[in-house]
Amino acid sequence: MPRYFFHITHERTEIDDVGEELPDKHPAWKEATVTAGQMLQGIDGKLRPGHDWRMEVTDAFQNTLYVLHIQAEKPK
């Protein structure tokens, strides 16, 4: 079964070097969205304008399959 990796960038980059075995990229997308929601709840108000949150989903060859990007901005 293929392995997918979920790298997070928020204040610093956390490389997922373990990954998760999933049948294909469609369950990897679902896992990314569910996990991203849980992680964003855990930020607990710490996402401030000018500080983005990003999850990059890659395959075992480090090809980027998906990117979830939350960009915090302060209106001008």
Phi, psi of 34 (to 5 degrees): -65, -50
Q: Could you list the residue range(s) of the whole structural domain that residue 55 is in?
A: 3-70
**C-alpha closest to that of 45 among 75, 13, 9, 72:** 72
Number of structural domains in the chain? 1
Residue-level pLDDT at 47: 80
- Residue 63 resides in a domain: yes
- pLDDT tens, position by position, 32-65: 999 999 988 887 777 888 888 999 999 999 999 9
Q: Which of 27-31, 55-59, 72-76 has the lowest mean pLDDT?
A: 72-76
Task: Note whether residue 75 is domain-resident.
Answer: no
Q: Looking at residue 5, what is its pLDDT?
A: 98
Average pLDDT over residues 11-32: 96
C-alpha Rg value of the chain to the nearest Å: 13
Cα-flanking dihedrals φ and ψ of residue 70, to 5°? -105, 120
The pLDDT score that the predictor gives to residue 67 is 98
For residues 23 and 42, give the distance between their C-alpha atoms in angstroms, rounded to a whole number.
28
pLDDT of residue 75: 83
Taking the CB of residue 6, how many other CB atoms lie within 10 A of it? 22
